[in-house]
């Protein structure tokens, strides 16, 4: 995970620098043509859809990147519920810098707020049940850290950040390796050889594979992939708390509660990031 402050700042600096380079290029000719270099303005972030706000701290970082004297007056913090008509924050800074940062701030916050809002909806569906909703690696390349940040703000839980911080033996690994047992044995040998102690998730596709996995052992969590509800319930009863259980595959807002009621410990939901709809926000300069 890269949830620690220093890693987040490193990713954020890289993201902002390259996003500004992409958008601004050799310069914002429109603003340079019609805005005096020393002009200063104040603008408000207007909320146009209800949801869970996300990206305020990213916006602060962006504005201070383009103008070190920028000042934000925040009315709604990251993770707070907002309604259409609310003002998220007001920013005061150099006008050219404000207009340079405007689209990057909005694009980022709209995406993050959509994900936080989607995550919060899933959390709400199961908040009275002992289950955690997990995100996945189905994210936008190079902004995974922002999207996973938004998932946390919405009340759900980050799974692995990448291929390096958790071992997940999926169907393709099992088939390419020749079966569940050899895959688990090779993972155990690899961890020992490299001095690793990573969590291990093993995907099973049916009850036959489940029984084989239980006989073999050597993993942390069983990923019950695309199990029908009756089979999922039977699988959880069969595991009987010996290993963590996770349900995955085709989970949506209408099915997540029923899945949670089977007793699984975790439900991984790719839709948190790959299907979230951006919320409508705008940044308006005060006249």
**Residue at token pair 């259409």:** 84
* Beta carbons of 264 and 246 less than 8 angstroms apart: yes
The catalytic residue among 67, 135, 209, 225 is 225
The answer as to whether 135 is a domain residue is no
In this structure, are 234 and 281 located in the same domain?
A: no
The answer as to whether 162 is a domain residue is yes
Catalytic site residue 103? yes
In this structure, are 262 and 170 located in the same domain?
A: yes
CA separation for the pair 265, 118 (Å, rounded): 20
The answer as to whether 145 is a domain residue is no
**Residue at token pair 């708390």:** 241
Encode the chain (287 residues) as per-residue pLDDT tens digits.
455 677 888 999 999 999 999 999 999 999 999 999 999 999 999 999 999 999 999 999 999 999 999 999 999 999 999 999 999 999 999 999 999 999 999 999 999 999 999 999 999 999 999 999 999 999 999 999 999 999 999 999 999 999 999 999 999 999 999 999 999 999 999 999 999 999 999 999 999 999 999 999 999 999 999 999 999 999 999 999 999 999 999 899 999 999 999 999 999 999 999 999 999 999 999 98
- The phi and psi torsions of 89 (rounded to 5 degrees) equal -160, 170
Boundaries of domain holding 166: 157-268
The answer as to whether 58 is a domain residue is yes
Give the pLDDT confidence score for residue 82 in this predicted structure. 98
The answer as to whether 131 is a domain residue is no
Catalytic site residue 38? no
In this structure, are 235 and 281 located in the same domain?
A: no
Catalytic site residue 192? no
Return the closest-CA partner of residue 268 out of 131, 169, 120, 133: 133
In this structure, are 249 and 281 located in the same domain?
A: no
Give the pLDDT confidence score for residue 172 in this predicted structure. 97
The catalytic residue among 40, 48, 103, 233 is 103
In this structure, are 39 and 67 located in the same domain?
A: yes
In this structure, are 172 and 200 located in the same domain?
A: yes
In this structure, are 21 and 84 located in the same domain?
A: yes
In this structure, are 103 and 167 located in the same domain?
A: no
Identify the CATH number of the domain in which residue 75 sits: 3.90.1170.20
Give the pLDDT confidence score for residue 1 in this predicted structure. 44
In this structure, are 66 and 108 located in the same domain?
A: yes
Identify any residues that bridge with 44 across adjacent strands, giving them in sequence order: 90, 284
Give the pLDDT confidence score for residue 3 in this predicted structure. 56
The catalytic residue among 137, 138, 186, 233 is 138
In this structure, are 191 and 243 located in the same domain?
A: yes
Identify the CATH number of the domain in which residue 209 sits: 3.20.20.70
The answer as to whether 138 is a domain residue is no
Split into its structural domains, the chain has a count of 2
The catalytic residue among 170, 186, 205, 233 is 170
The answer as to whether 132 is a domain residue is no
Catalytic site residue 65? no
In this structure, are 110 and 51 located in the same domain?
A: yes
Catalytic site residue 100? no
The catalytic residue among 135, 203, 209, 246 is 203
In this structure, are 18 and 97 located in the same domain?
A: yes
């Amino acid at each position: 995970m890269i949830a620690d402050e220093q890693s987040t700042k490193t990713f954020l600096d890289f993201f902002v620098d390259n996003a500004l380079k992409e958008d601004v290029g050799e310069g914002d000719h429109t603003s340079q043509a019609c805005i005096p270099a020393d002009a200063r303005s104040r603008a408000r972030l207007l909320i146009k859809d209800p949801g869970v706000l996300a990206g305020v701290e990213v916006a602060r970082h962006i504005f201070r990147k383009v103008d070190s004297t920028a000042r934000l007056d925040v009315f709604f913090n990251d993770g707070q519920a907002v309604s259409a008509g609310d003002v998220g924050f007001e920013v005061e800074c150099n006008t050219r810098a404000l207009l340079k940062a405007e689209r990057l701030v909005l694009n980022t916050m709209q995406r993050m707020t959509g994900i936080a809002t989607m995550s919060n909806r899933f959390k709400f569906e199961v908040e009275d049940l002992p289950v955690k909703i997990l995100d996945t690696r189905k994210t936008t390349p190079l902004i995974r850290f922002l999207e996973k940040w938004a998932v946390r703000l919405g009340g759900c839980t980050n799974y692995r950040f990448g291929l390096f911080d958790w071992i997940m033996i999926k169907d393709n690994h099992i088939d390419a390796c020749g079966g569940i047992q050899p895959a688990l044995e090779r993972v155990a040998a690899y961890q020992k050889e490299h001095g690793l102690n990573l969590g291990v998730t093993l995907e099973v596709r049916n009850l036959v594979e489940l029984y084989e996995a239980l006989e073999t052992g050597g993993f942390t969590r069983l990923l019950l992939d695309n199990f029908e509800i009756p089979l999922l319930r039977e699988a959880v009863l069969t595991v009987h708390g010996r290993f963590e259980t996770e349900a995955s595959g085709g989970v949506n807002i209408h099915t997540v509660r029923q899945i949670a009621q089977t007793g699984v410990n975790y439900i991984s939901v790719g839709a948190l990031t790959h299907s979230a709809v951006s919320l409508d926000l705008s940044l308006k300069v005060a006249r």
